[in-house]
Amino acid sequence: AQTVTQSQPEMSVQEAETVTLSCTYDTSESDYYLFWYKQPPSRQMILVIRQEAYKQQNATENRFSVNFQKAAKSFSLKISDSQLGDAAMYFCAYRSDSNYQLIWGAGTKLIIKP
């Protein structure tokens, strides 16, 4: 069975600096999708970024980028120029190419220090 591990329960960063959140996963499949979701205090789940496993190029969305290492089964999220509004829980999630179920990590709480 696939698993997703986020080893950092909590991270903090100074406003305007860069922070990297870690995620590792375990799968025997070759085709899959990886996601980072943000959950602010409002509890709403917001998709931050998505990576298709068949794409070698790392996905980027404005200040958010990923470092996807397929062989190492690693999918980290880098947030540049951190802003107070980035404070939230961040979840890493995996989906295989043959199943619509999302497998989730336990989450990382990101604190932004002003």
State the residues that interact with another protein by CB under 8 A: 4, 6, 9, 33, 42-45, 47, 50, 91, 93, 95, 97, 100-102, 104-107
Q: Which is nearer to another protein, 9 or 114 (CB)?
A: 9
CA distance 89 to 73: 22
User: Which residues are CB-neighbours of 5 under 8 A, at least 6 positions away?
Assistant: 23, 24, 25, 26, 105, 106
Q: Is the distance from CB of 14 to CB of 83 less than 8 angstroms?
A: no
Shortest Å, Cβ 58 to another protein: 19
CA distance 98 to 103: 13
Q: Which is nearer to another protein, 47 or 111 (CB)?
A: 47
Shortest Å, Cβ 114 to another protein: 26
Q: Which is nearer to another protein, 15 or 26 (CB)?
A: 26
Shortest Å, Cβ 44 to another protein: 6
Q: How many residues does the chain have?
A: 114
Cα end-to-end distance, the chain, whole Å: 41
Q: Which is nearer to another protein, 16 or 46 (CB)?
A: 46
